[in-house]
Amino acid sequence: MNSPDPAGAAPGDPAPSRIIATSDLGQASARARRLIVAGKCIVIPTDTVYGIAADAFDAEAVQRLLDAKGRGRDMPPPVLVADEAVAMALAVDVPQAARDLMARFWPGPLTLVLQAQPSLRLDLGETAGTIAVRVPDHEVARAVLTMTGPLAVSSANKSGRPAARTAQEADHQLGLSVGAYLDAGRTGDGPASTIVDFAVTRDGRVLRLGGISLDQLREVAPAVAGPAGQPPDPGVSGDSPADGPAHA
């Protein structure tokens, strides 16, 4: 486990507390950036749950994230970005349907699986050349992402345990494996993000229904297939809840 790291404080400051209030968002984001640059993991609030985050371009930091959760490389984390332009820079051959969904639902609870830009040095785990990206609808998360760049983010909990809705709940589970916890109060109790895979089909296929229903997706991308290959059908209800625990 990692101990609290003074890299999170400005030079000359005493070692800081792990839990950071976000009332001064500029200061909190700057400290988060220092920790990310130092290769540490941090916990940030998102519009779904609290997430444990690491520099998406730092393979050792991503491995620390996986180790903190007790998760293997066969379950690579998604990447959160500040805006659509950053997401497009991380991917190649993005279908028009995916672009349309970005324009309609970002920032928000929609994760898109795309073909990763092969020239980028990303090692998120066993991704088979894909990247799952999302723009969160949370002021603190986007402020941090603007300063740090893309972050690998997964729900801030040990695998198999409940997702954290507060910084304190995340700290209770992850403790000293995280350099700092940005505290923005309790997150909402909504479902996880909806995940749509565009890496295997240009029309899109739903891997998980969550905060955005199938009907909502099809208003923008009519040909998207439902879970388990459910064919496009305007009469199909998209009100199924998300399966499993919520993820960032």
Q: Is the pLDDT of residue 43 over 80?
A: yes
Distances (CA, A) of 18 to 90, 167, 207: 31, 10, 35
What is the average pLDDT across 51-68? 98
pLDDT digits (tens, 9 = 90+) for 107-127: 999 999 999 999 988 899 999
6-220: which CATH topology? DHBP synthase (3.90.870)
Mean pLDDT, the chain, as a whole number? 89
H/E stretch holding 87 reads helix 84-90
What is the average pLDDT across 78-93? 98
What is the average pLDDT across 165-173? 98
HEC string of 27-70 equals HHHHHHHHHHHCCCCEEEECCCCEEEEEECCCHHHHHHHHHHHC
62 pLDDT band, cuts 50/70/90, is very high
Contact 167, 63 (CB under 8 A): no
Query: Is the pTM here over 0.85, yes or no?
Result: yes
Per-residue confidence (pLDDT) for residue 4, from 0 to 100: 42
Q: Residue 222 has which token pair?
A: 């009519």
CB atoms inside a 10 Å sphere around CB 247: 24
Spatial distance between the Cα atoms of 174 and 75, rounded to a whole number of angstroms = 18
Domain spans of the chain?
A: 6-220
What is the average pLDDT across 11-27? 78
What is the Cα gyration radius of the chain? 18
Distances (CA, A) of 219 to 67, 109, 128, 214, 247: 40, 16, 30, 9, 25
Q: Is the pLDDT of residue 97 over 70?
A: yes
CB atoms inside a 10 Å sphere around CB 237: 10
Which amino acid type is present at position 84?
A: E
Q: Could you identify the residue written with the tokens 């486990």?
A: 1
If one compares 238 and 190, the residue with the highest pLDDT of the two is 190
Spatial distance between the Cα atoms of 144 and 193, rounded to a whole number of angstroms = 20
